[in-house]
Amino acid sequence: MDTKRAVQKEMLARRLEEARGRTRFLLGTVSDEDLAVQHDPIMSPLIWDYGHIGNYEELWLLEKAFGRGLSDRDLYDMYDASLHPREERPSLNLLDRADAGLYLDAVRGAALDALEEADLEGEDPLLRDGFVYNMILQHEYQHNETMLQTLQLSGSRYRPDEPAKLPAGDPAAEGEMVRVPGGPFVMGTDDRALALDNERGAHEVDVPGFHLDKTPVTNRAYLEFVEDGGYENENLWDPKGWAWVQSEGITAPKHWYQPDPHSWWTVCFGFDEPLRMDAPVVHVSWFEADAYARWAGKRLPTEAEWEKAASWDPETGTGRPFPWGHEPWSPNKANLDQLALRPAPVGSHPAGASPCGALGMIGDVWEWTASEFSPYPNFQSFPYKEYSEIFFDDGYKILRGGSWATRPGAVRNTFRNWDFPIRRQLFVGFRCAKS
C-alpha cells in the first residue's frame, strides 16, 4: 500500500472513531427510560437511532462493500428505515443500550479490518476515494442531530456538558440586506468522494440580481410579527398553512410561551429561559417563515439564490465549498458542532462571511427556501434510491446551511436538506430575500 492511501485509511479510521465517540457522548447522560420511549410521533426512540447507526454501517461497510456481514435478516429488517415507519419502531424488539453498544463495537471492528484491504483507487464506485466511508460518517453525524432534535422535544432536562461559550453578536448587522449580483453561476457539484447524490451534478443557473437578509431573522424581528397579529391574519398565509395554523392552534414558534403579557420565554432542552432577542428564531415551519416574509414585504429565497449568495465569488467566477472559502471549518467561522446547544447571536462570526457579505449562512439554524425538493439535471441515484429519489417532488421544501447541531463534516454550500412545510422539530429558521 502506498503512503498516500495508508494515510487516507488511517484518517478514515480516526474519523470513524471520533464520530462514534460523539454519539456516545451525546447519549451518555440520557437515562435508559428516555432512550427507549418515543418522545414524539415523528421521531424514533433514541435507542432505535443508536442501533440503526450500527446496522447501517454493517450494511454498507461490510455487506455492500465486501459481501460479508455479521447479522441475520431480522436485525437488518428491524433497523431498516424504509421498512418500519416511526410509529412502529417503539414496538420492535430493539437492542438495549448494552447490547447495542456491543453490536456497534463488533461491526466497527470488522469494518476497520475490512478497511485495511479496501481498494480506494479501484473501479468500485462505493470504495473509490473512500466514498462509502464518508457516507457512513455523514450518516452518523446526521443521526447525532436527529437525536438532539428528539432530546429537545422530550422535555427532559438535558446537558451532556457545560455548553461552549458563544461570541457576542453584531447588532448593526440585524435587519440589513446585501446585494447579490445577477448572472449565471454553477450550482451543485460533481464531487464523488464527499457529496451525496442529490447534490450532483454541477449545472449552470442564471439568477437575476436580488437582495438577501445579511443575517437570519432574529427572535426580536419575529416577535414583532407575532405581536402584530401575524398568526391571526389569513391574508399573510399560504392556504394550506392557514388551515394548519387553525387546526393546530399555532400562535408562536414551537417552544415559545408567555408567563406574563409581553414576557416571552422558551424551553431549551428542558430548561426555561427568556427569549434571546439577538439570536435567530428557531423551530419555525416553512409556513411560518413564508407568512413572516410576506408580512415584512419580502419573500423566501429560492434554493438557487441561497446557494449563489453562499458560494459564488464574482471576482474569480468560481464557487466556494463554504461561505468563507476553501479552508475547513474552525469555530471562529460558524457555530457548528453541537457543543453550544443553541444558536449564537446574529453577526457573531464575521470571519464566516460569504462573498456577498451575508453572515451565518452555515451554522446556527437551517434556513428554509422557497424551493421544492427536486432532482438536478442528469441526476442519478447512488448508491440507493431511498436516500433521495423517493422524496423528490412530493411536497418537501428545501433547507440549507446546517445548524448549531450539525457536525462540520455533514454540511457544505451544496448540501441539501428537506422536510415537509409543517415541520418544526428541526433547528430551523430562515432569512428573507427581495427582488
Which residue ranges are tagged as binding site for gamma-L-glutamyl-L-cysteine? Answer: 86-89, 419, 423
Instruction: State how far Cα 39 lies from the chain centre.
Output: 20
Residues listed for the chain:
435
CA distance linking residue 174 with residue 222, whole number of Å:
12
Query: At CA 13, angle to CA 10 and CA 15, rounded to 5?
Result: 110
Amino acid at 395: G
Amino acid at 5: R
Listed in sequence order, the residues at least 6 apart from 161 whose beta carbon sits closer than 8 Å to its beta carbon are: 25, 339
Q: Which of 179, 208, 170 is nearest to 355 (CA)?
A: 179
What Å distances lie between residue 137 and 67, 181, 319, 338, CA to CA? 20, 36, 25, 16
Residue ranges of the annotated binding site for Fe cation are 52, 139, 143
Q: For residue 431, how many other CB atoms are within 10 A of its CB? A: 29
- Widest distance between CA atoms in the chain: 69
Cell of 30: 440520557
Residue 329 phi/psi, 5-degree rounding, is -60, 145
Whether the Cβ atoms of residue 385 and residue 414 lie closer than 8 Å to each other: no
CA atoms 294, 298, 301, 302: torsion sign? positive
Preceding peptide of 181 cis, ω within 30°:
no
Which bin fits 61, alpha (ψ -120 to 50), beta or left (φ > 0)?
Answer: alpha
Whether the Cβ atoms of residue 349 and residue 322 lie closer than 8 Å to each other: no
Preceding peptide of 69 cis, ω within 30°:
no
Listed in sequence order, the residues at least 6 apart from 138 whose beta carbon sits closer than 8 Å to its beta carbon are: 196, 409, 410
Residue ranges of the annotated binding site are 52, 86-89, 139, 143, 419, 423
CA distance linking residue 330 with residue 167, whole number of Å:
14
